[in-house]
Chains A and B, each alone.
Chain A
Amino acid sequence: MIDYIDKIKQISKQILTDCRVDMVIGFRQGTVPMMNEPCFAKTVDDVDAFVWDSHCGINLANYLTGRKEKIGIIAKGCDTRNIVTHIIENKIDRDRLYIIGVPCRGMVDRRKVNALCDSIYEVTEQGDTVKVTGENLDRQLARADLLQENCTTCVHPNPVIYDELVADEVEVHTDVDRWADVKKIEAMGSDEKWSYFDDLLKECIRCYACRNACPLCYCPTCFVDESKPQWMGKGQDETDVRTFHFLRAYHCAGRCTDCGACARACPVGIDMRVFTRKLEKDCFDLYGWEAGLTLDVRPPLDTYQADDPEEFIK
């Protein structure tokens, strides 16, 4: 992964020099380890700050909504799928974009690393190993063991739409059960499900970091902020918390690419993907639909087909 950076910089500088784009969106080193932050490079010199490693999990498609400039964007598989969704939803023009596709080998879950010791000083990587240095800690770990949950079952690591690829496409998992996590919950009884989600959301502080990190959540006024009528309370009442997560997931039905940005952004470590995952699976099972794979087909929830499933209607 880290060897991509030279090529990324080279392409970015080239398109800025040629005035193909007004800026390039990429990542730069964050202030703490494993927290790379988005970087908007407007000049060739800005590009030198770019980095690429296993901590670039933020979905950069989030920064494209409604932009009018010409933009170069460095995009992983999931990012490109969200870019496709943005184009389909008229949030950005394809012509304005120069997509630098990055075949992705998965991103490291910083929580798994943070669990190793209290303070991490540095995390570096070399090929398939990650070297973690921290308080009384100096360890080499396998990258594969530290991946984000969504990356372990990802079947679209390669960009689906791009102007240029920085490396050859990576091998796609074929031996994983993509829906194992959803099936586990589906197998539960009604009461069990209820208490499972009770436990899951107990920690939620309603900071809306998941909403802000999500490229799909671009509504000018979110339903939680509406006051006429006010659909739900603003506090930490468990019904309100549940309503928020539930409706947010609903708004992502048929659009979510399981990029994991929401779970990654959560300060209390809730994996709210369990909500969106179910809808993702339903879309796949009912309509054979996976979000953001093509520009040519309208999503199932805004079209009608005579053979749409309707067994649930009386």
Chain B
Amino acid sequence: MAHMGVESERIHLSWVSSAESTKFVRVAKEVTEAVRALGPNRRFVKSQGPDRSLNDEKAA
């Protein structure tokens, strides 16, 4: 997907065993921070109106 221009930091893959709750929490934080750093996704989103960014602001 990165090849097509979707930022690679939006997609994450990890292996966490059911006993590794601490690892789960750590990865959850990492993923959230990585996505937060990128900002809102504007790519591959099926547009729902003439200007999606307006919808976002209203929702926020």
The answer to whether any beta carbons of A and B sit under 8 Å apart in the complex is yes
- Give me the interface of A with B, judged by CB distance under 8 Å: 185-186, 190-197, 233, 237, 239-240, 242-243, 246, 275, 278, 312-314
Residues of B within 8 A of A (CB): 1-8, 12-15, 27, 30, 43-47
Contact of B7 among A190, A195, A237, A314 (CB under 8 A): A190
- Complex CA gap A190/B42 in Å reads 12
Q: Using Cβ atoms and an 8 Å threshold, which residues of chain B touch A275? A: 4
| A313 and B3 form a contact (CB under 8 A) | no
Check A314 against B30 for contact (C-beta < 8 Å): yes
Which of these, B4, B13, B30, B47, contacts A242 with CB under 8 Å? Answer: B4
Complex CA–CA separation, A243 to B12 (angstroms): 19
In the bound complex, how far is the Cα of B6 from the Cα of A237, in angstroms?
18
- Most A CB atoms within 10 A — which of B1, B4, B45? B4
- Chain B residues, CB < 8 A from A192: 5
- Name the residue in A185, A195, A314 with the highest tally of chain B Cβ atoms < 10 Å from its Cβ: A314
A313 pairs with B5, CB closer than 8 A: no
Q: How far is the CB of A94 from chain B (nearest CB, A)?
A: 35
Nearest CB of chain B from residue A197's CB, rounded to whole Å: 5
Cβ contact within 8 Å between A194 and B3: no
Do A314 and B2 touch (CB < 8 A)?
no
Question: Of B5, B7, B14, B27, which contacts A197 at CB under 8 A?
Answer: B5
Distance to closest chain A CB from B53 (angstroms): 16
Given contacts A239-B45, A314-B27, contact A246 B4 (CB under 8 A): yes
Of B1, B30, B43, B45, which is in contact with the most chain A CB atoms at under 10 Å from its CB?
A: B43
* Other A-B pairs, 11, CB within 8 Å; known A278-B3, A312-B13: A190-B7, A194-B4, A194-B5, A194-B6, A237-B47, A239-B45, A239-B46, A313-B15, A314-B12, A314-B27, A314-B30
B46 touches A233 (CB 8 A): yes
Q: A313-B13, A313-B14, A314-B27 are in contact. Are A190 and B46 (CB under 8 A)?
A: no
